[in-house]
A and B are shown apart, each in its own frame.
Chain A
């Protein structure tokens, strides 16, 4: 059966570490890095990559618009 899988790209240097995207993700894909970016913020990154459905919830609430979302059908 075809399954939908998603993937996100977070612009690490543009992220301000606000954590608003974390709560928006229904499958808890996103975590905050322990290291910081050039601005000094702990940036968000997709940790549980396999769980992403490409729903774009995280991207539409990111105040800085730094998340890009992809989605593809894959054969299970």
Chain B
């Protein structure tokens, strides 16, 4: 059988989910946002929840997530997605509700909304894309920027003495009793994509069981902001981001 003969509907094993629209993603080539969007939609589809879900888009590069995720979406002011999600979930407790937020959105301007929604144990899922930088606005330093890491506002590298320490907000959130599940994952290799999907699946399943806030961080690249090729940025991420932001489950519900 030749290659071309295998390309038949009955042999299909993978195609982009229809819960992603056919709009061209506004992301730079190789940016992890696209993969994170797609696997979030795949999980909702696999769980049979997609048609009963409301997503909250942030401000940041993923501000247009509602153009790409083919489900009901709302867009929130910068950092306010967990507050909007709170309102949406309280009005429609039977809907699956999630936010999708970058690190500038979630861990800088939106810190209060993040911490308080989690502390209230709102029954929502937060998908947190940590690329260590403000991607959309030109690669400025974020609370998550690594010590010594260059950004457009720390051109000689982040000096923790004058610029403060990076914030591991995911570990912070894991302390809060309202939060039942916290995991940190990545999406740059097939193995990581599979693990990240599993974590997102657990998060949504726990939401349907009304277990309080579930939180999945995805350590991702910003190749444009980091001024690297996509492949270089993924390697840099493994070497520099993962030691500071180690991958794995941080909090799981007691059995």
A interface, CB within 8 angstroms of B: 5-7, 9, 14, 16-20, 22-24, 41, 46, 49-50, 52, 54, 56-57, 59-72, 74
Contacts and interface: CB of A to CB of B under 8 A. Distances in A.
A35 B34 CA distance: 24
A68 B25 CA distance: 17
B32 A63 contact: yes
A66 B1 CA distance: 24
A70 B27 contact: no
Interface residues of B, number: 37
Given A63-B31, A69-B13, A71-B13, A20 B231 contact: yes
A16 B38 CA distance: 16
B255 interface: no
Contacts of B13: 6, 54, 56, 69-71
Interface in B10-47: 11-16, 20, 24-25, 27-35, 38-39
A18 B38 CA distance: 17
Contact of B7 (A57, A64, A70): A70
A19 B190 CA distance: 14
Contacts of A61: 35, 187-190, 193
A20 B29 CA distance: 9
